Structure 1
Amino acid sequence: MKFTEGMWRLREGIRIDWMSNVERLSVDNETVDLLLNKLQRHRGDTLNSGTITAQITSPLEGIIGVNLVHWAGALDQGPHFELASSTGHVQIAHTERQSLRYGSGPLSLAITTAPNELEFNFTGADKPTTKLTGHSWRSIGYVSDQTTEKSRWEDGLYLERQGYMLAELDLSVGEKLYGLGERFGPFIKNGQTVDIWNEDGGTSSELAYKNIPFYISSAGYGVFVNNPGKVSFELQSERTTRVNISISGEELQYFVIYGSSPKEILRRYTALTGRPSLVPAWSYNLWLTTSFTTNYDEQTVTGFLDGFRDRDIPLGVFHFDCFWMKSYQWCDFDFDSDMFPDAAGYIKRLKERGLRISVWLNPYIGQASPLFREGKENGYFIKRTDGTIFQWDNWQAGMAIVDFTNPAARTWFSDKLTHLLNLGVDSFKTDFGERIPYKNIRYHDSSLSPTRMHNYYTYLYNQTVHATMLCHPDHTSKGNAVLFARSATVGSQRHPIHWSGDSESTFPAMAEVLRGCLSLSLCGFIFNSTDIGGFEGTPHPSIYKRWVQFGLLATHSRLHGSSSYRVPWLYDDQAVDILRDAVKRKIALSPYLLSSALEGSKTGVGVMRPLFVEFPTDHNVYALDTEYMLGDGLLVAPIFNEEGVVRFYVPQSKEGTDGQWVSWFDHEKVYEGGKWYEETHGFETLPLLIRPGAVIPVNWKMKGAEEDPLDGLEVLVNGRLDGEVKVDIVNPDRTDEVLKVVTIGMGPDGVVVDQEGVKVVRVG
């Protein structure tokens, strides 16, 4: 939120009490409390003005938190993010009326405590004299706004003002900012205004389904704001040398997270907010859906499945979208008997084909649903402050919203899902979760703030579904489960996976969902998916085929549309060939993808990641958002036009690594790092490059990602290796376990392997 008009003036009706001085401080074990006030010229300046208490803590090594409080009399309303913490890693040094140094492992905060010289400086161990970020002149304040409905002039002395906490963090020259959830606009966030507020806005919008109050800086740190409500970021869009963070209310807590590399920042961030969970191996196969508003019944679905089988296109999952239930009754969790008269028998027949089954759901209950009365009588829905159920007609007529703060409602919802799991359903597409009311609302847990619950609701919703699946016998022995979720907040990486939401069927939309995937990956989400071909409209065959190439070089791949189907033969015969090749290529790569995901579950680094995450010393890659790394060894440059022209940059390999990048499709085609290339590709290929020194496990014998990866395993090796390389081959039955470790090293005759039965293929 902007409070100023230029550098010197405030907006009319705005007052800011700027903190300029440390009045006093205290140290208690690993916590420092500072009383901040305005410029102090004499003792009279202590009157008629506010103070801010700044509490300094460190939940984990390399992370320092600053909690700023104006008035401390507010109720401690939830919800609160689930954060990890430990002790024993803090060092504090204090020189009276001069300075205080607060250290947490490699991260330090120096606070100037000399009179009227308040300043915060964060520094990292690799460059201890270089400021990462901090607070300089007039950058911590309390804002009073008397232009809102809260202010009544007739109240005189007792006139109330809307209050905001404001923290402005300094930026250095050339510093670039990323993240803040799944954002579809410019990849670099400098110059943008971003409000952390989940909305159903589509992908061609500044609104976002997955808002995360966390950004990464190219200067070597991240900032996480610990508030599930609405957080406003002005990223060089108000003060050109700062990120301005504001929150309505009396308290603002942020954490600076240090990292000598982007990977280290993500590791610390996910150690704080939760490591990503893993998903079953079968979920990496191709998903096909009924699409949304299309007509479908058992005959239609069976025809599609026969078409894939007859054309030799491997298919792993079939998804029933909304109209598997009767209209106006979403969600009642029952198959429409008119369209599917023998749902249990049909699911059984589908599973006999080797398919997994997914069904769509949302957390809303339409008034026409038989479950509405049940939920009303038992108090399972969100209510208004007058005790009536919140209802509206946006989506389903008279729909109510399940109140997941009510344990009984969670059990009720979970029981409905368990019935479907018992029928043979394997996964749920947990749509929506963003359209959550917050005005004049009361939850079952009345201690929770409806405003803070607006974003947090999706966490409880998806947590409920994910936990239900993990408790079911079909999933318990595997230790994992998979959703297809649209909305998210901090910690939602524990409930994978997430897809990008409703995109148009255009090349620009394809590019914007890639930006969304890359931004979300910088917030600890290691999996991603899109609606291949786009959701709205019917894609031109060229768009469909290029999106197939891109979508099958992601962790999860789903053909889905709104009013038109996404089966390839409806576009042209070449689309069938392109999809077949792309699916088989992805299945062959599944040992590599599962290994990358296992590593990501430990570090928070996405399988699909921006180039700067992998090559932080190559400053040419920091602006790139039309190409990405898939794992640490493959570069992907999707093609975003009908002509097949693509311009892409090949990063510089790390120092000490010899060799050239090699085309996946033609091993004779090599690329020098640190250079731009322009190529024209037919629909059979795209720039898919193997990194120098990469070791890529593949298996062309596999028919699905859940099959034995060792039978037919090959290892692609590009160039010379810098010492011995160990490759984890993940157990597809339990994706958190390593089935075998393959060791690749340099021998006198080149690359050798010390494991029997593994073929080594030199590609460069």
Structure 2
Amino acid sequence: MKFRDGMWLTAEGVQVEYAEEVYDIAETEKGLSLLCPTRKIFSRGDTLNRSTLTVDVEAACDGVISVETTHWAGAVNKGPHFDLFPDGRPSIEHKVSKGDKGTTLSAGSLSATVAGDDHTFDIRFHSTDGSKHLTSLLGRSVGLAYTPAPSNPLQTGDMRDFKHYIFTQTTLGVGESVHGLGERFGAYNKVGQSVALWNADGGTSSDQAYKNVSFWLSSRGYGIFIDTPEKVDLEIGSERCSRVQTSVEGQRLKWYIIYGPTPKEVLGRYSVLTGRPSKVPSWSYGLWLSTSFTTNYDEATVKSFLEGMKERDTPVDVFHYDCFWMKAFTWTDFVFDSERFPDPKAQIARLKSSGLVKKVCVWINPYIAQHGAAFKHAAEKGYLLKRKNGEVWQWDLWQAGMGLVDFTNPEAVKWYVSCLNGLFDQGVDAIKTDFGERIPTLDVEWHDKSVDPHKMHNYYAFIWNKTVYEALQARYGTTEAVLFARSATAGTQRFPLVWGGDCESTPEAMAESVRGGLGLGLCGYAFWSNDIGGFEGSPAPWIYKRWVAFGLLCSHSRLHGSNSYRVPWTIDSDSTEEEGCSRTLARWTALKTRLMPYLFAQAGRAVREGLPLSLRAMCLEFPDDPTAWFLDRQFMVGESLLAAPVFDESGEVEFYLPRGTWTSFFTNQTRDGPGWFREKHGFGSLPLYVRENTVLVLGKPGVKGAVYDYAADVEVCLYQVREGASAELVDGEGEVLGTLRVGTDGGLEGQELLKGAWTKNDGGRHVEESYMKTIEWL
């Protein structure tokens, strides 16, 4: 939201008051409390008829400082509030010191200095050792605003006709870029954008987002987490070019500044604050196949799909039943359509026993349709959100007469979990939690009267996914739970995993999805997926095959569409050519399967450190390379593999390699970075490069499915290694078995961990000569 009309004028209908000086500094239990009048105080008379802002600057933990700005402290601070420090708050002994530059609060490696000059407002955030300036709150950077502008101060005695805002403006340095703020599909660098953090079902081709996360990462070595689930408006160099403005409607605004100095360290500290991602089981990394959305299917269709995939040498680890496993007009009532699935428990058991699939997932949402079996019971028991007059809140958008489960009601949570347990009893292993964005804020009253409906809008995604995830954990174990969620907010990374929502079947939409995955990964989400081939429309064969290559290099991979199937033989009339859809899918599925020893080990590190597995933004691995902060068409898979999807029908692709020697995964040819390169690829490859000094462990060629022994019969591939290069070996549960390491003599230490007929290749992996014919360096 913009409060000004350019540099000199206030926006029409708005009154703005700024903190003009720090009048008083009081030391508190955790830091400093600053009294900041909205005019400079030169005499006692200046203290009258004037608003003040209180800015509390406190040490949260090492490298993290909170800043809370308050106008009227008597305003009730309703919930819900983010569940911060879920694993416990680290101890911190803050330090307050006074010197020539002012009063400084230090929280380990991060400090904030309040300038000591009279009649100034100046707060600088910097590394405690003084080596790095991060950002500042300077003159006219903290304030309050009214709209409409009151013509007389007496009018503010009745605030019912006014909106009140608090805002802060942190400085942007020259060349500084800003990233994150959830899964956003527009420009990767947010500088110059206006961003509203408000969950919405807008698809991937709009400025709306399913997953709004109130955290952004700066290229200068810090991040900002805004501590409220309510709507937040940001003007990122878009109102004042040299500042990031954060505003909320209300009387207080709190955010945390998080110091790295590296972006990985920023995310590590952010994950301490909001929660680390949880582990997901090895089977979830395999290929997921969906029925698609409005397609016509029954038990015979499902079986034919899985048999067709097996015949085409593509194992499916998870089969997903989308919406129409329930009858039309009944979603979500947790009841299989008896005409199409007369005995779902037996059917699911048959699928698993046949070996066609390991696990089964079903679609649900938090909406309860009036015509479904669940509505009457839920309404009578008070499990659904109500209007202020006591009636059940309903509308006809999406499902006729649908209500919304009120997860602030503990009894509603118990009931919902019992419905989920009914699905688990029938053999369901995973849940796709769709929707959850269109949460009403007007004329509603939650069971928990202490919550603010506007704050519940974004926060609903957290409590709903938490309910389902914990139900899965209770049934299957703490590390076996898997969601496939669309809506999210800060902290929802604790309940993996998520996918990118509704994208079109176009190369532009694939690029949108890449940008969305990169941004969400920079908010601490380790695991991310998308609809291979695009959701809306029917993909052309070339788009499908290029998307297959991209999708199988994401942490999780799912074939899913809207009104058309995504099994490969329906895309290109069942072509049997080597570069047809079926063979392309088989090759990329096999590649991901072979990568599982590497992927699963990297996933463990991602969970421990709060990092994305894939898509991992280039800046996380190469923060000192300025180009890395602007790369939005490529990504890292873990720390050692670089992937660049192909977006052009010709197969031509341009990509960037940072400094070092990089080896093509497909040909073992090397390139030296930094620099931009162009290649042309067939459908069985893309620019996939291995970082120098990498020990890459691959599964045995021909292994089927994502679950196998990751230490047996493996191929250990060495890429320009030096002494100390290493790779962790993990078992099927993700537990570390030990480390393979290059010793002083160039030999491989830790060989006793390996089993079976394993091999070692010193110059990269054993490659197939066929790739030499389909990859052209331009």
TM-score (norm: length of structure 2): 0.94
- Which amino acid letter does the alignment assign opposite residue 69 of structure 2? L
Change (3 A) 1:254 1:156: closer
* Residues 694-718 of structure 1: CA deviation (Å, up to 9, x unaligned): 1111102532222111221222210
Does the 8 Å contact 1:527/1:607 carry over to 2? yes
Quick check: 1:592 aligned with 2:598? yes
Q: What secondary structure sits across from 1:503 in the alignment?
A: coil
- Residue matched to 1:12: 12
Quick check: 1:621 aligned with 2:623? no
- Residue matched to 1:262: 263
- Residue matched to 1:192: 193
- Residue matched to 2:233: 232
1:183 Cα deviation from its structure 2 partner: 0.3
* Residues 140-168 of structure 1: CA deviation (Å, up to 9, x unaligned): 11111116xxx799985746431100100
Change (3 A) 1:53 1:299: same
- Residue matched to 1:246: 247
* Residues 40-87 of structure 1: CA deviation (Å, up to 9, x unaligned): 122211111111111111221100001111001111210001112333
- Residue matched to 2:689: 689
- Residue matched to 1:443: 446
User: How far apart, in 1, do the equivalents of 2:354 and 2:709 lie?
Assistant: 19
- Residue matched to 1:516: 516
Quick check: 1:117 aligned with 2:120? yes
User: How far apart, in 2, do the equivalents of 1:154 and 1:25 lie?
Assistant: 27
- Residue matched to 1:91: 95
Map 1:660-679 → 2, pairs under 5 A: 660-667=661-668, 669-679=669-679
Quick check: 1:343 aligned with 2:350? no
- Residue matched to 2:320: 319
Change (3 A) 1:511 1:226: same
User: How far apart, in 1, do the equivalents of 2:115 and 2:79 lie?
Assistant: 33
- Residue matched to 1:53: 54
Does the 8 Å contact 1:500/1:531 carry over to 2? yes
Number of matched residues? Answer: 745
User: How far apart, in 2, do the equivalents of 1:433 and 1:696 lie?
Assistant: 40
Does the 8 Å contact 1:277/1:480 carry over to 2? no
User: How far apart, in 1, do the equivalents of 2:92 and 2:645 lie?
Assistant: 47
Percent identity of paired positions between Structure 1 and Structure 2: 44
Quick check: 1:459 aligned with 2:462? yes
Which structure 1 residue ranges, 5 or more long, are not aligned? 654-659
Does the 8 Å contact 1:17/1:49 carry over to 2? no
- Residue matched to 2:659: 652
Q: What secondary structure sits across from 1:678 in the alignment?
A: strand
Does the 8 Å contact 2:92/2:108 carry over to 1? no
User: How far apart, in 2, do the equivalents of 1:490 and 1:266 lie?
Assistant: 13
User: How far apart, in 2, do the equivalents of 1:303 and 1:401 lie?
Assistant: 36
User: How far apart, in 2, do the equivalents of 1:321 and 1:616 lie?
Assistant: 40
Quick check: 1:575 aligned with 2:581? yes
Q: What secondary structure sits across from 2:653 in the alignment?
A: strand
User: Which one of 357, 377, 382 corresponds to residue 380 of structure 2?
Assistant: 377
TM-score (norm: length of structure 1): 0.95
- Which amino acid letter does the alignment assign opposite residue 516 of structure 1? G
- Which amino acid letter does the alignment assign opposite residue 68 of structure 1? T
Map 1:53-92 → 2, pairs under 5 A: 53-84=54-85, 85-92=89-96
Which structure 2 residue ranges, 5 or more long, are not aligned? 765-778
* Residues 313-338 of structure 1: CA deviation (Å, up to 9, x unaligned): 11111000000001110011011001
- Residue matched to 1:39: 40
- Residue matched to 2:140: 138
Map 1:530-549 → 2, pairs under 5 A: 530-549=530-549
1:454 Cα deviation from its structure 2 partner: 0.3
1:749 Cα deviation from its structure 2 partner: 5.9
1:759 Cα deviation from its structure 2 partner: 2.6
- Which amino acid letter does the alignment assign opposite residue 559 of structure 1? L
Map 1:115-514 → 2, pairs under 5 A: 115-125=118-128, 128=130, 130-146=132-148, 158=157, 160=159, 161-354=162-355, 355=357, 356-472=359-475, 475-476=476-477, 479-514=479-514
Quick check: 1:630 aligned with 2:637? yes
- Which amino acid letter does the alignment assign opposite residue 131 of structure 1? H
- Which amino acid letter does the alignment assign opposite residue 522 of structure 2? L
User: How far apart, in 1, do the equivalents of 2:746 and 2:297 lie?
Assistant: 59
* Residues 714-734 of structure 1: CA deviation (Å, up to 9, x unaligned): 22210122x2244222222x2
User: How far apart, in 2, do the equivalents of 1:480 and 1:244 lie?
Assistant: 41
- Once the two structures are overlaid, the 10-residue window that deviates more, 447-456 or 600-609, is 600-609
User: How far apart, in 2, do the equivalents of 1:598 and 1:156 lie?
Assistant: 58
* Residues 732-761 of structure 1: CA deviation (Å, up to 9, x unaligned): 2x23x22x1132214546656543544322
Does the 8 Å contact 1:742/1:754 carry over to 2? no
Q: What secondary structure sits across from 1:672 in the alignment?
A: strand
User: How far apart, in 1, do the equivalents of 2:547 and 2:268 lie?
Assistant: 31
Does the 8 Å contact 1:753/1:760 carry over to 2? no
- Residue matched to 1:641: 648
1:404 Cα deviation from its structure 2 partner: 0.3
* Residues 366-411 of structure 1: CA deviation (Å, up to 9, x unaligned): 0001211101110000111111111000000000000000000000
User: How far apart, in 1, do the equivalents of 2:114 and 2:294 lie?
Assistant: 59
Does the 8 Å contact 1:153/1:159 carry over to 2? no
Q: What secondary structure sits across from 1:651 in the alignment?
A: strand
1:25 Cα deviation from its structure 2 partner: 2.2
- Once the two structures are overlaid, the 10-residue window that deviates more, 627-636 or 35-44, is 35-44
- Residue matched to 2:774: none
